């Protein structure tokens, strides 16, 4: 007698010897697309009758949990290599290469399901964007100067300080949106900076909902930074990479040739 369980339904069939039971097991495993089955020998009667119990559901649940842990582990690896390569260029010269590599690696892992080692993917992508060190320097300098002016403007008692703060915040938001679009087009094969900035500026106006989504992701990162610095270091890169990658899945502007 063979007793097996699948989708909480039980079926029975009579087998007369262990060889038949083995053949049944092989055929059943093939029908289940060669999944691993837990086999328990409960009783035997002179080698003629065998009782088998197939535990499929527990194995499937275990595989699902394992896949979730592997997925989270890969995301943490992406965050780790982002900070590693960002520090490799002392932040100033690696800001754009590291962030572009973050988006490209996230796309390769999440969308294209590339199973290659994360370290290899990130290194190859970083080497492809390593020539943009001057643009990284300009971008980081803009951010530093903007925060410096904003810091002193908040502590100023002049009548125009509030207007200055609003203007600085406005330009910083524009920078974040356009910077993300620039990285997106950069990872999609557009290399000339004149075209990158032009496309990013047009896209930020033509696709306002996507621009708002970028700001929403940045708001999450800002909240994470103010809440817990350790959580920000561990989660911020993968949140940004996954958020931007998934939001641009169906994004296909007519002026982008893929």
> Which of helix, strand or coil describes residue 43?
strand
Using CA atoms, how far apart are residues 2 and 11, in angstroms rounded to an integer?
8
Q: Report the sign of the C-alpha dihedral through residues 193, 195, 198, 202, in that order.
A: negative
pTM: 0.73
Q: What percent of the chain has pLDDT over 70?
A: 73
Using CA atoms, how far apart are residues 129 and 132, in angstroms rounded to an integer?
6
Q: Please tell me the predicted confidence (pLDDT) of residue 51.
A: 42
| Pure H helices in the chain | 18-31, 57-88, 95-110, 118-129, 133-154, 161-187, 193-206, 208-227, 229-247
Using CA atoms, how far apart are residues 98 and 231, in angstroms rounded to an integer?
20
* Residue 161 tokens, joined: 């300080």
Residue 137 vs residues 21, 94, 116, 180: alpha-carbon distances, Å: 70, 8, 31, 16
- Of these ranges, 186-200, 212-226, 240-254, the one predicted with the greatest mean pLDDT is 212-226
What does the pLDDT look like over 79-122, one tens digit per residue?
999 999 999 988 999 999 999 999 999 988 887 776 678 888 99
Residue among 185, 237, 236, 239 nearest 207 (CA) = 185
How wide is the angle at C-alpha 45 spanned by C-alphas 43 and 47, nearest 5°?
105
Torsion angle, alpha carbons of 56, 57, 58, 61, to 10: 120
> Domain segments of the chain: what residues?
2-55, 75-247
Q: What percent of the chain has pLDDT over 90?
A: 45
The beta-strand segments (E) located in the chain are: 2-6, 9-13, 38-45, 49-55
Mean pLDDT of 203-227: 94
How wide is the angle at C-alpha 204 spanned by C-alphas 199 and 208, nearest 5°?
145
């Amino acid at each position: 007698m063979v007793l097996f369980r699948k989708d909480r339904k039980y079926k029975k069939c009579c087998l007369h010897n262990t060889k038949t039971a083995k053949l049944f097991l092989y055929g059943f495993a093939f029908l289940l697309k060669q999944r691993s089955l837990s086999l328990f020998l409960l009783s035997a009667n002179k080698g003629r009758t065998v009782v088998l119990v197939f535990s499929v559901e527990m194995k499937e649940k275990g595989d699902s949990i394992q896949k979730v842990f592997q997925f989270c582990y890969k995301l943490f690896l992406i965050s780790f290599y982002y900070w590693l390569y960002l520090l490799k260029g002392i932040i100033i010269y690696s800001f754009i290469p590291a962030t572009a590599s973050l988006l490209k690696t996230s796309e390769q892992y999440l969308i294209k399901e590339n199973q290659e080692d994360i370290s290899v993917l990130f290194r190859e992508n970083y080497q492809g964007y390593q020539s943009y060190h001057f643009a990284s320097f300009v971008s980081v300098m803009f951010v530093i100067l903007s925060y410096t002016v904003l810091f002193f403007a908040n502590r100023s008692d002049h009548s125009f300080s509030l207007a200055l703060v609003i203007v600085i915040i406005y330009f910083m938001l524009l920078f974040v949106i356009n910077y993300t679009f620039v990285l997106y087009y950069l990872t999609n094969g557009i290399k000339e900076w004149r075209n990158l900035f032009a496309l990013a500026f047009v896209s930020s106006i033509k696709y306002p909902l996507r621009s708002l989504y970028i700001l929403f992701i940045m708001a999450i990162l800002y909240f994470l930074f103010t809440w817990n610095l350790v959580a920000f270091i561990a989660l911020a890169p993968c949140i940004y990479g996954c958020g931007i990658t998934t939001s641009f899945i169906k994004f296909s502007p007519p002026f982008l040739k893929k």
